[in-house]
Every structure is written in C-alpha cells, then in structure tokens.
Chains A and B, each alone.
Chain A
Amino acid sequence: MSGIPHLGFIVAAYAVTTLVMLAMIIAVVLDGRAQRRLLAKLEARSGVRRAGSAAPGDGSA
C-alpha cells in the first residue's frame, strides 16, 4: 500500500472530504435539535401563559 506513489495526497483528499461532509451533517443535525428544543420550550411557555390568562377569577378579564 505504501508503494503507491502520491498516496499521501490521495489520503489527504479523502480525509478532508470526510471531515467537511461530517461537519456539515453534524451542524445540520445539531441545529435541527436546537430549534426543536427551543420551539417546544416556547410552545410550553405560551401554553402556560394562555392558560394562566384565561383562568377565571384571576383579575385579568
């Protein structure tokens, strides 16, 4: 295997491609998780708020 001329260039090219692809995949997956987490948190908070403001006898009506 080490007898292949310019092996280092071939390995480096595939290594860089793998790293960049993995970085793009990880970035998209982590961003998706973060957005879903934030959305769930905000929806829960707005749900609580709506329920809170609609409660009878709380003086807000």
Chain B
Amino acid sequence: MYVLANPQNFMRLSGRALPWLVGLSALTLVVGLALGFDAPADYQQGETVKIMFIHVPAAWVSTLAYCVMTGSALGTLVWRHPLAEASQKAAAPLGAGFAFICLVTGSLWGKPMWGTYWVWDARLTSMLVLFLTYLGLLALWHTIEEPGRAARAASVLTLVGAIDLPIIKFSVDWWNTLHQGSIFTRTGSTVDGSMLVPLLIMAVSFTLIFATLHIAALRNEVLRRKVRRLMLVSAAEPPPEAVFTRTKVAS
C-alpha cells in the first residue's frame, strides 16, 4: 500500500496492471453473459430474470464505488494524500454511471413484474438518493477550481452521504418494501445455482470493470494535476521575449 501511495510508483505499477485488468474484465464479462443467456427462465418471472444479471451487479458496484470514495475521503481529510483526493474524484462519475444503470434496469424490470416503473419504497428511494449524491459530488468537484479545496469539501459531503449505504442495504429488512429482500442470507442464497453462478460471475466482471476504469481515471487525475502544475509554473515564468525586452530596457 505504501509503495502505491507514491504517485510515481502508482503510475508505473498501474500501467503494468491495466492490460491484465482489461483482459480479465472482458473475459469474465463474456463468460458471465454467455452463462446468463443460457440460464433457465424463472418459474415466476420468466425471461425477465435475465435483467437480474446486470441490475444486481450494477447495484453492488454503485455502492462499492461509494465505499471507495468514503475511504478516499478519510485519506484526504486525515492524511491529505493527493492520491486519495484523485481517487475520490475518479470514482464519482463511475459510481454515478453504475447507479444510473441500476435505477434504469430496475425500472425496466419493475414494469413487467410489479406493473409500474417506479414506487417510492425505501430501497428504490435510497438508491435514488445515492445517485443524486453522486451528481452533487460531481457538481461540487466542478464548482471549486483549486483541487485541494474541492477535495476537502467533497470529502465532507462524501462522509455525510455515507449514511445512505446502510440504509440501502437494510432498507428491505427495516421497512415493508415492494423490492424483494436480500438474495444472500446467513444460510446461503435463495437463488438457484443455475442463476447464481452467472450472477456471481457478472458481479466479478462489473467489479473488475469498475477497478479498471477507476485506475485509468486515477492515472488521468495524476496527469491532470501535473498539467495544472506545469501551467501554473509556465504562467509564473515570463516568456523569453519579455525577459529579452526587460534586459534590453535595463541596459
């Protein structure tokens, strides 16, 4: 971890890891999709159960991305580490994307099963709050120009927003919701093995896709900061013609 905390080491090691991550993501996605389309229809839901293979992994990754952001927010506020700031900023649009996928696929699954695209039940509403929190964080990052100040403000909002994570997880237990309960219990899973295997492979695939994109976006952030530093240095330095003119006038 300490080796990776150095931006130069991070750029070197992540550059080597990225092609492997891309390959693994693609492989698990192809296998997951093939097994998912081959899985039998559910006795109640029919073929619409295939939406589960993208909806559940998207929901899992959208909350995982927020967990990453929460850890990075702590890293920003406690250690003021530049990579923690960059990690937060890089994860926000990805988390928003996966939360959007979760909400839209959930609606498209809900209409044929529940008869409606949307209900204001606890699980759906808390997921919408997560999506809106992501949008708020993105807006905040774009509002404050100085990266350090933006990171500290975003960290506070991220930590406040983290309260939504246990609400999302336990909403189906705490309240009577239209959304089904957790498919994973202490005694195992309520899903048949023929559907559980592709579901788990798709969850691994979505996690790898997020990890790949997050590392690539983090590298972009490191480069962006380097560009900003160089721009500030070049703005502070007088252009060669100005130096020449000044010396000429002085002499």
Q: Which residues of A contact B (CB under 8 A)?
A: 4-7, 9-10, 12-14, 16-17, 20-21, 23-25, 27-29, 31-32, 35-36, 38-39, 42-43, 45-46, 49, 52-53, 58-60
A14 surroundings in chain B (CB, below 8 A): 54
A36 surroundings in chain B (CB, below 8 A): 223
A39's partner among B58, B227, B239, B244 (CB-CB below 8 A) is: B227
Whether A60 and B244, one on each chain, are in contact in the complex, defined by CB atoms closer than 8 angstroms, is yes
B55 surroundings in chain A (CB, below 8 A): 13
Query: A21–B243 Cα gap in the complex (Å)?
Result: 50
B194-251 residues with Cβ-Cβ distance < 8 A to A are 209, 213, 216-217, 219-220, 223-224, 226-227, 230-231, 233-234, 237, 239-240, 243-244, 247-248, 251
A13 surroundings in chain B (CB, below 8 A): 51, 54-55, 104-105, 108-109
B251 to chain A, nearest CB (A): 7
Query: How many interface residues does B have (CB within 8 Å)?
Result: 41
B240's partner among A4, A6, A52 (CB-CB below 8 A) is: A52
Instruction: Say yes or no: is B71 at the interface (Cβ < 8 Å to chain A).
Output: no
Closest to A16 in B: B104
Instruction: Say yes or no: is B142 at the interface (Cβ < 8 Å to chain A).
Output: no
Whether A32 and B220, one on each chain, are in contact in the complex, defined by CB atoms closer than 8 angstroms, is yes
- Chain A to chain B contacts (Cβ below 8 Å), 18 pairs: A9-B48, A10-B47, A10-B50, A10-B108, A13-B51, A13-B104, A13-B109, A16-B105, A20-B101, A21-B101, A24-B94, A31-B217, A35-B223, A39-B226, A49-B240, A53-B240, A59-B248, A60-B243
A5's partner among B46, B101, B230 (CB-CB below 8 A) is: B46
